[in-house]
C-alpha cells in the first residue's frame, strides 16, 4: 500500500477533485487514475472510495504477510461507498490517494486503486501521433485530450 497525500485545493488543483469519486456514476465513467513518472505511466483502477479517518486502516503499510494484506484489502473494500466488483486476492499493488475533507481535522477522503499496467510514455505518444496522422518528427508538438492508454 503506497500512500500519496495531496491538498484538497479550492481551485481543483492537486487533489481538489478527488472527492468526485463519492459519486458512483463518476467511478463508472472514469474508473482509472494515472500516476505519471519520468518515462512511464502507471495505470490504476479504482477499487474503493470513501471518507475515513487519518488514523484509519487506509494508512497501513508494511504488511507482515499475505494474510494481513488480504485482511487490509477486504476492509478497504467494505469501506467503499459502492461496489467496484473487486475480489481481494492479497496480490494487488495498491495505491492510496488521500486528501482532507473539510469535515474536521481527522477526516480524509480516500481513493484506493489497484495497479493494472505500466505504459511507456514514449510508446503512448507515438501511438497517439500515428492515430492522429502526425509524422514521427512532430510527436513532441502533438497534444490530445484522449485519455485511453
Full-model pTM: 0.79
Considering 53-57, 88-92, 99-103, the range whose residues carry the highest mean pLDDT is 53-57
Q: What is the pLDDT of residue 11?
A: 76
Q: What is the pLDDT of residue 124?
A: 62
Q: What is the pLDDT of residue 14?
A: 75
Question: What does the pLDDT look like over 25-67, one tens digit per residue?
Answer: 999 999 999 998 888 999 999 999 999 999 999 999 989 999 9
Q: What is the 3-state secondary structure (H, E, C) of the chain?
A: CEEEECCECCCCCECCCHHHHHCHHHHHHCCEEEEEECCEEEEEEEEEEEEEECCCHHHCCCCCCHHHHHHHHHHHHHHCCCCCCCCCCCCCCEEEEEEECCCCCCEEEEEEEEEEEEEEHHHHHHHHHHHCCCCHHHHHHCCCCCCCC
Amino acid at each position: 500500500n503506497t500512500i500519496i497525500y495531496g491538498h484538497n485545493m479550492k481551485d481543483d488543483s492537486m487533489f481538489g477533485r478527488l472527492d468526485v469519486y463519492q459519486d458512483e456514476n463518476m467511478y463508472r465513467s472514469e474508473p482509472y487514475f494515472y500516476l505519471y513518472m519520468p518515462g512511464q505511466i502507471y495505470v490504476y483502477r479504482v477499487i474503493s472510495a470513501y471518507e475515513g479517518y487519518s488514523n484509519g486502516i487506509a494508512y497501513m503499510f508494511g504488511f507482515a504477510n499475505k494474510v494481513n494484506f488480504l485482511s487490509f484489502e477486504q476492509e478497504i473494500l467494505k469501506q467503499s461507498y459502492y461496489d467496484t466488483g473487486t475480489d481481494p486476492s492479497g496480490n494487488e499493488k495498491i495505491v492510496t490517494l488521500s486528501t482532507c475533507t473539510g469535515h474536521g481535522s481527522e477526516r480524509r477522503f480516500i481513493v484506493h486503486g489497484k495497479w493494472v499496467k505500466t505504459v511507456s510514455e514514449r510508446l503512448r505518444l507515438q501511438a497517439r501521433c500515428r492515430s492522429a496522422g502526425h509524422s514521427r518528427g512532430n510527436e513532441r508538438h502533438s497534444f490530445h485530450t484522449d485519455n485511453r492508454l
